[in-house]
Every structure is written in structure tokens, then in C-alpha cells.
């Protein structure tokens, strides 16, 4: 039984999500204590419980401690997934974070699968659907994964009500290399509005145009590239501003979320400034994407990517992954000191990590 102190490092819910998914993928049971001990509301929240319930079903696991507010959990998987599964968070908690928890288990599935997750799809502090669809899923396919993620309904905080559907099948997996993003081919701005005036989105896109004007490729049609998108049949009000940078080899998405009392211009500046910093850095993998690549690369057979300086969140995730064995990380500063090369090394060949 692997024992993990959930208060170490960044000490957030990502430690639990990573452990749940890797437990099913590797068949290794674990016990985690002091879960989210340093948070204002320590222990398991609804989003974390949804991940526990889903991974318990995916891995036919024995679970002890899976209650609201629990700061300890024992999880013993007995199988790998195949078939149909569903889970409802019961709040606006992020469906995409629950998907992240399930991902390593799905990469090691023993048969075709379909997973439905109800909850939030556009939440502050979590990847929005656009990032998962345009950045993470293409990276997974480069690893060899046969997987798709579809948005059926949008869900904003606090109403929730969103739904994503994940479908896939077993596939032979291999290493991933992301060291060169290639030239920027297309730069887009998307202002998503749900039950709110489109004027909010237009104001946000005005900021995107101003901040990133010098980065648009020559001859770009800004009227076409900067779009307000109204959510059909909104469950509740919400707003998300995304900057989508499509390069030759990678795509990155930078999103900020509207909040009551926060000016549209302030919301847009956050995403636009972050996008500009990444575009100027020359690195292929943004910081928030680097964190999401580590687990699937560890399951698939390793690889290497270049990114910006690593956050405590990312380094904590590395520590949890390494605890499950068979994986180590090499992190080296690139020339100039801004870019970092992260190498994920797995014991054995990529063939040893193919799905049987």
C-alpha cells in the first residue's frame, strides 16, 4: 500500500486526482492522508468526490473514506475500465478536472469506453473545454491515444449544468516530443457569453486586439478572427474570454473568466497578457499545459517537452507520479534561463506500456 501525505508541496486536489488515475492505470493501491489540509475548506469537496466515484467505477475499486469533508482516503483498484460510465458532480465543479483524474485509467483501458461527466465546463482555476479539446486531446493523440472529448452543454459557475462526453478505445501508446512550436499560423479571440449582453464580449475582444495587434500574422482578417459566441439555451449566466494561438506544431489556449463586479477589460487583459508572454517566450508548451502532460506521458512511455519555469503545482504533481514507480523526471534550464526542458523517462520500452 502506497502512503501519500496530501499536504505536501502544493497540497491541493491535483495530488488526489493524479493518485486516483495512476492507481487504476498501474493497479497499485494507495492511502492518502491530510487531503487539502492547508485549504480554507480542507478535505474532499463535491468535485473530488465525483472523481473518487468515477475512478472507483473505472477500477472496480474498494474505497474507504470517500465522504464529503474527509481528509483521508484508501483506494484499492481491482480492474481496468471498459464500458459505459457516468458521474454528476452535483455542483459547478469542473468536469474537466474530473476527466483529468480519469485520463490515465482510460489510457490503460481494457476495452472501448464512454464516460459522461456533468458539472462545470468553464470554471476559474480549471482548464476550460476549449483547452482540453484544442490542446490536451491533440497531444494525447500524438501519444497514440484513441480518445475524443465532446461538449454537450456549457456549464458556468455558479449554475453548472454542463456536460462532457469522453469516448475511446485501447491503443498502442508511445513517447511525446514537443520541442518546437513552429511559426504562428493563426491567432484567434473568442468571447463566450451565456445569458449576458454580447457587448461584454465585444469589449473583451477590443482588448485582445489592442494587446496582441503586433502578433497577428500578416494579412489576418481580425473581423473573422475575433468572435463573440453566444451559448445556446444557457443554464445560467457566464463569460469566458479565450485567446487561441495555433502554431505549426502546437496550439495553446489562454482563458480568463468574467466575474460579477470585474470590468470586461480587466478580464480580457488577463488572458491577452498571458498569451503575449507565451508568444514572446518561444517555448512550445505553456505552464498550465505542462502540468497536464506529465501524467499521460508517464503512462504512455515518456518523452520530452520545453516549457516555461515550472510551478510548485507542477513539481508536486511530479512527486506524486514518481511515487507510483517506473518514472523519473529530468528538468534542465535551457540557454537564456527562461525555457525549461522536461524529460519524462519510463522504465522499459514504450511497448511495455501498450494497452493489452
Q: Regarding beta strands 62-64 and 83-88, do their DSSP bridges make them parallel or antiparallel, or are they unpaired? A: unpaired
Our answer to whether residue 313 is catalytic in this structure is yes
Domains along the chain with CATH numbers: 2-178 (3.65.10.20), 184-278 (3.30.360.20)
pLDDT value at residue 235: 86
Burial pattern 219-242, b for ≥16 Cβ within 10 A else e, equals eeeeeebbebeebeebbbbbbbbb
Burial pattern 28-47, b for ≥16 Cβ within 10 A else e, equals bbbbbebbbeeeeebbbbbb
Answer yes or no: is pLDDT of 355 > 50: no
pLDDT value at residue 350: 40
If one compares 352 and 55, the residue with the highest pLDDT of the two is: 55
pLDDT value at residue 233: 84
Alpha helices, H only, 213-261: 222-225
pLDDT value at residue 356: 35
Mean pLDDT across the stretch 57-70?
96
pLDDT tens-digit profile of 288-345? 999 999 999 999 999 999 999 899 999 999 999 999 999 999 999 876 656 899 999 9
The residue count of the chain comes to 356
**Residue 63: closest CA among 47, 76, 48:** 76
pLDDT tens-digit profile of 183-207? 999 999 999 999 999 999 999 999 9
Answer yes or no: is pLDDT of 349 > 60: no
Cα gap 187→176, rounded to integer Å: 25
Give me the catalytic one of 131, 249, 288, 313.
313
Provide φ and ψ at 289, rounded to 5°: -80, -40
Least confident among 160-169, 274-283, 329-338: 329-338
Least confident among 27-31, 161-165, 216-220, 252-256: 216-220
Identify the band that residue 348 occupies on the pLDDT scale cut at 50, 70 and 90.
low
Q: E strands along 48-122, which residues?
A: 62-64, 73-76, 83-88, 113-119
Strand, coil or helix: what is 44? coil
pLDDT tens-digit profile of 221-264? 999 999 999 998 888 899 999 999 999 999 999 999 999 999 99
- pTM comes to 0.94
Identify the band that residue 353 occupies on the pLDDT scale cut at 50, 70 and 90.
very low
Amino acid at each position: 500500500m502506497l502512503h501519500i501525505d496530501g499536504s505536501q508541496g502544493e497540497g491541493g486536489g491535483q495530488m488526489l486526482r493524479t493518485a486516483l488515475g495512476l492507481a487504476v492505470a498501474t493497479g497499485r493501491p494507495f492511502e492518502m492522508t491530510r487531503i487539502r489540509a492547508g485549504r480554507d475548506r480542507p478535505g474532499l469537496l463535491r468535485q473530488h468526490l465525483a472523481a473518487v466515484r468515477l475512478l472507483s467505477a473505472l477500477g472496480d475499486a474498494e474505497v474507504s473514506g470517500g465522504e464529503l469533508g474527509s481528509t483521508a482516503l484508501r483506494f484499492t483498484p481491482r480492474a481496468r475500465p471498459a464500458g459505459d460510465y457516468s458521474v454528476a458532480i452535483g455542483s459547478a465543479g469542473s468536469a474537466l478536472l474530473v476527466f483529468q483524474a480519469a485520463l490515465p485509467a482510460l489510457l490503460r483501458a481494457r476495452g472501448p469506453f464512454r464516460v459522461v461527466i456533468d458539472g462545470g465546463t468553464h470554471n476559474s482555476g480549471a482548464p476550460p473545454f476549449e483547452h482540453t479539446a484544442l490542446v490536451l486531446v491533440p497531444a494525447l493523440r500524438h501519444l497514440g491515444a484513441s480518445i475524443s472529448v465532446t461538449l454537450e452543454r456549457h456549464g458556468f459557475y455558479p449554475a453548472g449544468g454542463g456536460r462532457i462526453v469522453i469516448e475511446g478505445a485501447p491503443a498502442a501508446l508511445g513517447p511525446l516530443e514537443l520541442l518546437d512550436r513552429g511559426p504562428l499560423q493563426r491567432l484567434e479571440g473568442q468571447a463566450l457569453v451565456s445569458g449576458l449582453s454580447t457587448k461584454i464580449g465585444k469589449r473583451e475582444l477590443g482588448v485582445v486586439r489592442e494587446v496582441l495587434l503586433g502578433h497577428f500574422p500578416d494579412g489576418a482578417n481580425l473581423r473573422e478572427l475575433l468572435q463573440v459566441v453566444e451559448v445556446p439555451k444557457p443554464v445560467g449566466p457566464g463569460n469566458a474570454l479565450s485567446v487561441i494561438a495555433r502554431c505549426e506544431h502546437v496550439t495553446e489556449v489562454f482563458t480568463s473568466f468574467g466575474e460579477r463586479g470585474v470590468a470586461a477589460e480587466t478580464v480580457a487583459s488577463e488572458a491577452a497578457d498571458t498569451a503575449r508572454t507565451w508568444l514572446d517566450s518561444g517555448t512550445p508548451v505553456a505552464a498550465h499545459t505542462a502540468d497536464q502532460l506529465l501524467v499521460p506521458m508517464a503512462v504512455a512511455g515518456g518523452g520530452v517537452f520545453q516549457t516555461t519555469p515550472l510551478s510548485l503545482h507542477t513539481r508536486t504533481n511530479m512527486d506524486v507520479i514518481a511515487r507510483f514507480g517506473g518514472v523519473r523526471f529530468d528538468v534542465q534550464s535551457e540557454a537564456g534561463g527562461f525555457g525549461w526542458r522536461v524529460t519524462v523517462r519510463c522504465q522499459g520500452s514504450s511497448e511495455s506500456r501498450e494497452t493489452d
